[in-house]
Structure 1
Amino acid sequence: MPELPNLDRIDSLIVHELQQDARIPMRDLADRVGVAASTCSDRIGRLQARQVLTGFHAEVDLPALGRSVQAMVFAQIRPLSQPIIDRFRRDALAMPEVMAVFVLAGGDDFLLHVAVPDVARLHTFLVEDLSSRKEVVQFRSSIVFDHSRKRAIENLAGDQ
């Protein structure tokens, strides 16, 4: 089991606040967590060096970008080997329709989060782009009606 990062209360507050708003000015972030801005900046640098913070991202509204249909696509591939898994993951991430790739255990090998302009494009993606791959032996898809996610991971320092 991987070792959990040892986060104190200040580090936990910094991570929590950055998950809420990664563009918060350093001075405001420092005020919220109760340290000097230089201390806050140093702690962020250490959190990045320890790979607790791995990036800062912009959240995008997919329908505003013309991708109003989202689907989850489960795929099985054969032969199941590490090189085939690695190639399929790489190739799937290169497809413009694919937003995320999950490698799974169990009945399905992959879960692809797909975003497309309409159902016709989803159909084309499934029939022409996905099923034409020789390693894909089976797939099934579910259209996403709504999606919610937590903006921040809670209880980072293990506090109750």
Structure 2
Amino acid sequence: MARNSPKPEVPPLDDTDRALVRLLEADGRTSNATLAREAGIAESTCLVRVRSLRERGVVRGIHADIDPHAVGRPVEAMIAVRFGGHRRSHFEQFRDEVPTLPGVRAAYHVAGANDYFVLVAAESADALRDFVLDHLTSRPGVLHAESALIFESLRGQGTLT
């Protein structure tokens, strides 16, 4: 997971950048030739533009969307984690370590009554319970963890650009 530290300001996207982002968002495996054709630019220009989008952090990565059920992790949960005391070192350790744990799909540092939401996929309800006890509530500073089972997951289909 990327650390949310102050980032240099990204120059505004022009119409060509936005077209490339939309195309990559729809299918990250789109070939350079197809991207160039759809965006109405030369292939060499397209390579440079996509490389620039990556270097500027606009395109953070291209990855597979894996079905947790298909790989033996059918129990998904969103776990709300609340800290007590709010020591920076506890937050930093949590931020650095939790996203690397097996089954963690995402972690979100949020405002409100809870401090983090952790999206987890587990092999069973027992494995989920063990994950919470072994990897979340036992962490320094963690006061409370509450799991909400996910019955259905719908992926957004709207674009960001």
Which band: TM-score by shorter chain? 0.7 to 0.9
SS of structure 2 residue aligned to 1:54: coil
Alignment match of 1:45 (pick from 31, 48, 51): 51
CA contact (8 A) 2:73 2:121 kept: yes
1:64 — aligned with what?
70
The alpha carbon displacement at 1:142 in A equals: 0.3
Q: Is 1:87 the counterpart of 2:79 in the alignment?
A: no
2:113 aligns with 107
CA offset digits 1:27-68 (Å, max 9, x no partner)? 111111111111111111121222211211111111111111
Aligned equivalents of 2:44 and 2:70: distance in 1? 38
Match in the other structure for 1:34:
40
Question: Is 1:129 aligned to residue 135 of structure 2?
Answer: yes
CA RMSD of aligned residues (A): 2.0
Q: Is the 8 A contact 1:19 1:152 kept in 2?
A: no
Report the equivalent of 2:145: 139
**TM-score normalised over the length of structure 2:** 0.87
Query: How far does residue 151 in structure 1 lie from its aligned partner after superposition?
Result: 4.4
One-letter amino acid of the structure 2 residue matched with residue 43 of structure 1: R
Q: For the residues of structure 2 that align with 1:36 and 1:46, how far apart are their CA atoms?
A: 15
Superposition TM-score, scaled by structure 1 size: 0.87
Determine the C-alpha separation between the residues in 1 that align with 2:132 and 2:29.
37
Q: Percent identity?
A: 32
Contact kept, 8 Å, 2:76 with 2:119, in 1: the verdict is: yes
Is residue 19–residue 151 contact of structure 1 (8 Å, CA) maintained in 2?
no
1:3-42 equivalences under 5 Å are 5-42=11-48
> Mean alpha-carbon deviation: is it higher for 107-116 or for 121-130?
121-130
Matched to 1:36, the amino acid is: A
| Cα distance in 1 between the residues matched to 2:94 and 2:26 | 33
Equivalent pairs, count: 155
- Name the counterpart of 1:77: 83
Q: Write the distance in 2 (CA, Å) between the matches of 1:66 and 1:136.
A: 29
- Supply the distance in 1 between the matched residues of 2:25 and 2:145 (Cα, whole angstroms): 34
1:5 touches 1:52 (CA, 8 Å); kept in 2? no
